[in-house]
Amino acid sequence: MIEVKGVKIYWLGHAGFRIAGEGKTIYIDPFKIKGGPTADIILVTHNHFDHLSVEDIRKVSSPKTLLIGPKECEARFRQLGLEHKVVRPGVSMDVSGVRVEAVPSYNVGKSFHPKMDGKVGYVVAVGGVKIYHAGDTDRIPEMASLKPDVSLLPIGGTYTMNVEEAVQAAKDIGVGIFVPMHYGSIVGGKSDAERFRGMIGENAVVMEPEE
């Protein structure tokens, strides 16, 4: 867990995170979790099984939970029977004091996450802290203008950026704390995260997954 200005960020393993601040609990891409505090908002970056897990969403949702994700997630959102909102890159909304902005997330030169699909990352602003979850993406030019306080960046390679590409993306972003993700479950390992930290320096934080 890291804490920035009173906002707590927990890594749940793989690309999953929980954010707690201003009395709100926000999950992003929960996957293979045991449970946890009930979500006010659950953000889903895209429809792949390791990001949109109906089973895991059920573990932390209530009838009051709001689901947010791109169009390709809508059928499974309906299956869950919860209120949901569909976003695309460039769409932002305020939800009970939490600012959620969907931003582009796509591959360059590989076909797993085409730009035309409209998969997303998110910038979540809560308690005066901006947190960027990049989703399953390569290094893309849209990152450079975000200026978040915390960036959650995939490093596993194959489907996303690898360590070296994520380091370059961090340099593009240029500010804040950098947390590696999307490793240890399907692709990549702890050694990749340590290599990322070694290349970034003191602004990188390697988190332990919350039990």
**Closest CA relative to residue 133, chosen from 9, 5, 50:** 9
Q: Are 153 and 177 in contact (CB under 8 A)?
A: no
Residue that has been written with the tokens 């573990």 in this structure: 59
Q: Which amino acid is at 30?
A: P
The whole-angstrom separation of Cα 31 and Cα 52 is 8
Tokens coding 7: 């906002």
The side-by-side arrangement of strands in the sheet containing 7-13 is: 2-4, 7-13, 16-21, 24-28, 41-43, 66-70, 84-87
pLDDT of residue 211: 59
pLDDT digits (tens), the chain, 211 positions: 999 999 999 999 999 999 999 999 999 999 999 999 999 999 999 999 999 999 999 999 999 999 999 999 999 999 999 999 999 999 999 998 999 999 999 999 898 999 988 999 999 999 999 999 999 999 999 999 999 999 999 999 888 999 999 999 999 999 999 999 999 877 777 899 999 999 999 999 999 998 5
Superfamily of the domain at 2-200:
Ribonuclease Z/Hydroxyacylglutathione hydrolase-like (3.60.15.10)
Q: What is the CA radius of gyration of the chain?
A: 15
Q: pTM for this structure?
A: 0.96
The whole-angstrom separation of Cα 48 and Cα 46 is 6
